[in-house]
Amino acid sequence: MKAALHPGRLLARRYRLIDQIGAGGMSVIWRARDEVLDRVVALKVLAPSLAADARFRDMVREEARAAAQLVHPHVTSVHDYGETVDPDGSITSFVVMELLSGEELELRLTEGPLPWPEAVEVGAQVADALAAAHRLGIVHRDITPANVMMTAMGVKVLDFGIATRIGAPDEDEDGGTFGTPAYVAPERLDGAPAQPATDVYSLGVLLHEALTGRVPYPADTWEQLSAALAGGPAPTLADLPELPAAVARICLRSLSRDPADRPTARQLATALRDHRLPPDPPTATTRVPTLALPSSAAASPSSAVPTGHAGVATAPVATALHAGDGTAPPVDDVTEPAGAGPGRSRRRALLLLIPVVLAVAVALAGAALLPDQQPDRRAQPSAGPVTPAPTDPPTDPPATEPSRPTPTPSSPPATRAPTGEPRTLVEAANRVDGLIGAGLRDGEIRDDVALDLRNELRNLLAAVGSGRDELAPPVARLREKVTVRLGEGAISPAYAQRLDAAIAELGAARV
């Protein structure tokens, strides 16, 4: 008799099942613990009714191979593939993936369309993921809201279960068509070989739905889709006057009947990213560029950097990979997003007032102190990194001079020569965060990579500050991530060098 899956069962002498968190037509999703690496993962287990069929096991294996090639912040990370032979000779086939925390786009859209800037951001990130897949010759073939997860680190494209190679036949062995009818490109109904343009069409449908709350050609069956394509009106976004015309054009181009008229996924990602809401005016981000965190943040990391994160793994493959963890705010998030409300202006005003208040207080204190009672220069508050001189000139009255913020340079120096005692952990983290922000502003670091690095930095502070980890391992992981992103072309060589130097300094910080 086939051994049933149940909490506590160990698969492949490594993965201990915890609980079932989802199910689809071909698979069941379990939360499990990897007892070798001591981490929680998601296991996508082929449904028992299909596990006996070698063809379906091969499909699951191919899904794992396809997704494992894609190292991208908007694609689910695949860790492993395994098969377990049960006592009766039957086989349990499974894929091991990162466990995600978030909400499926499909569920989000039940509340109505997204604000157009959010819809454009979602579309740009999905297009980035597809561009990476297409570069490797992989066509997803099932881009739908059910296969897009909204997480704190951005969207994640899920489920490469029916992915195939560019140029492969786009039909199953019985001549049927894979996919969800309303999102399937017209040429797929004619049996054309798999091609990247079919994914772009599906993303165009997803964008249309995210913007309007409806798909351009509603259909639940292939017959309904054929009828809608033959007699339905051409899609339009004319009822969204606030939507930039360029965004409307690129979205409608993605829905072109002729694949040759559609943009590539890379072109679509670039166009959408260029037409997001403009950032805050420069004065909102340069007046207090690298404000250091209060010293209490170092003593109590949990108050400054919550220890939760967006899942035990960091990238997406089934529609129900959820975990309940939260995410921490950025380490040095002085700037707030547009539309944050009246509290935003008050908060910014308070931050701008801090250096003035501190300067007045220092000046008053300096007037009442004897020269040998002057406070240590290193203890004075500063709005940015300060390199103390080897010796203070005898005529320099530091305590009576107001402290003024030092704007972060557009191109910060590659290294900082250490003088005096090492930085504190929070000071060094602010240095890294400031470099990430400068690279983002200069276009030298891709926006999704900047978000990824900042999340890694937050997790480092949380783990080290709470005593769960030594400083060296997370610093090594952060440096390795910079190297990987440099290889992907997501960070310029100059900024990768500067970041690596700053992260190395972080490794020498006082904890």
Tell me which residues are annotated as active site: 142
User: The tokens 């140029």 sit on which residue?
Assistant: 167
Q: Which two tokens stand for residue 433?
A: 């965060």
User: Are residues 57 and 137 in contact, defined by beta-carbon separation less than 8 angstroms?
Assistant: no
Q: How far apart are CA 72 and CA 130, in angstroms?
A: 10
Region for 398 from its dihedrals, namely left if φ exceeds 0, alpha if ψ lies in -120 to 50, beta otherwise: alpha
Q: How far apart are CA 376 and CA 398, in angstroms?
A: 10
User: Are residues 60 and 90 in contact, defined by beta-carbon separation less than 8 angstroms?
Assistant: no
Q: How far apart are CA 212 and CA 114, in angstroms?
A: 8
CB neighbours (10 Å) of residue 460? 24
State which amino acid sits at residue 105: L
2 is in an annotated binding site: no
Residue 473 makes CB contacts below 8 A (sequence gap 6+) with none
Rounded (5°) CA angle 131-30-49: 95
Rg (CA), the chain: 27
According to DSSP, the residues that pair with 252 across neighbouring strands are none
In 170-300, alpha helices (H): 186-189, 196-212, 222-231, 245-254, 265-274, 283-286, 295-299
DSSP per position, 424-484: BHHHHHHHHHHHHHHHHHTTSB-HHHHHHHHHHHHHHHHHHHTTSS-SHHHHHHHHHHHHH
Which residues are annotated binding-site positions for ATP?
A: 44
Which residues are annotated binding-site positions?
A: 44
